[in-house]
Structure 1
């Protein structure tokens, strides 16, 4: 079930949401330290994490799923957001270098369709970064944040899902080790929670982050398998078989 776009906006406007954004954005930049001259797509509700890319990329765009709703972004300048079905992106084949998928995979009913569509729009050297709630983390167990909604994953589940949909997982990271409370003390000490959690309790992070590469050979393999599964009608003697039906 999708979170409403207004609820997502209100969460990131709160002090807890702003702290969560900083902690997650820090890990995103560690995974993607350089995006110069690239085209970046944010799918789901990714706009809180896209602003750092605007000054260095060739282009940044955001697609918000129709079941979630859409809000204009950025507040200044031309709009860079469109509303679309997550499994039917209005983008050309091999047109995107980096895809950031956040507040999407845990909510969509079209999991495979979404991942295959991202595969289609990624360049051959493109990268996908998936951010989902961690099934073992406390954030997934409380529904006072968007990370407590939808279907959480474990690292092995997420990696398996990506491999099954023509991706090769490259690296895994995690974030949000602090409890999802609005306590001023907890929010001020968030960096310390992150350092301790990454070192000693990585299993209990609030969110999982997996970077994956596109499997180039997978598309041709699937097409070959589809051709082998085609059936032919038996033809009477003396007639030429003309092709699949």
Structure 2
């Protein structure tokens, strides 16, 4: 089996997936798990990295600020719809935030495609507040979704929970909670989509490690030293008005 890595998906393809029925079903089950891990975000600053906007909307009325960063290689889309834009382009290894300025960092369609994983994780550590939390959502090595290119979860490098925990520990994070989602086979079949809740319930009960997506939450090690390799390049943010837009995302 060959996995594609170091290839950011185009924002047009990501938009198209989340507007499809399969994408809507996937978003529903992943969003449930994200909310279960982060039940209370009142007054906090939440940043999504990669293509996290489908999962940020649920926090808008509670969080102090919800922002999204999309990698330059991926492209950008306006979000939220019919409101002032809160999305910008940035290098994955040079996030446009001050040190200790982000309370929650949500990585979706990010880690599996990143070319500079260690640098991205160091930047995540830098921008997170002392009690900050990061949640990684990534395709599972064991699941069916990583084995088909029918969705964005079939692109890039899939991870196991243990691989994510090891990466987090290596980059000065303490793994906390873990979760899985997407037990239904990745298919546009109407029958499968209609029975998705049954697949999800049965999968959690009988094959809990076979979810198509793995999630690991981690907290910043506040006793750790600042990562030695700091990004020295200028942190530029390109706003959507200065580039080609592909239309509003989910």
TM-score by length of 1: 0.89
Cα distance in structure 1, aligned partners of 2:54 and 2:226: 36
Distance 1:159 1:220 in 2: 20
Query: What residue number does 2:198 align with?
Result: 192
Question: Higher RCO, 1 or 2 (CA under 8 Å, sep at least 6)?
Answer: 2
Structure 1: tracts of 5 or more residues without a match: 224-245
Provide Cα deviations, 1:84-113, integer angstroms capped at 9, x if missing partner. 001101101111100000001000111010
Distance in 2 between residues matched to 1:171 and 1:29, nearest whole Å: 13
* Aligned residue pair count: 223
**Runs of 4+ that moved beyond 6 A:** none
Match of 2:183 among 169, 174, 177: 177
Query: Matched residues in 2 for 1:203 and 1:142: separation?
Result: 18
Tell me how far apart the structure 1 counterparts of residues 69 and 39 of structure 2 sit (CA, whole Å).
23
In structure 2, C-alpha distance between the alignment counterparts of 1:84 and 1:222, rounded to whole Å:
21
Q: Matched residues in 2 for 1:192 and 1:27: separation?
A: 16
Q: 37, 53, 57: which one pairs with 1:51?
A: 57
Equivalent residue for 2:221? 215
Structure of greater Rg: 1
Q: Does 1:88 align with 2:100?
A: no
Partner of 1:141: 147
The alpha-carbon deviation at position 192 of structure 1 amounts to: 1.6
State the partner residue of 1:4: 10
The 5-angstrom pairing of residues 3-42 of structure 1 reads 3-42=9-48
- Normalising to structure 2: TM-score of the pair? 0.87
Give the alignment's Cα RMSD to 1 decimal.
1.2
Structure 2 stretches lacking a partner, 5+ long:
1-6, 230-250
Name the counterpart of 2:167. 161
After superposition, give the CA deviation of every residue in 1:105-161 in whole Å (9 maximum; x if it has no partner). Answer: 000111010011011110010100000000111100001100000000111111101
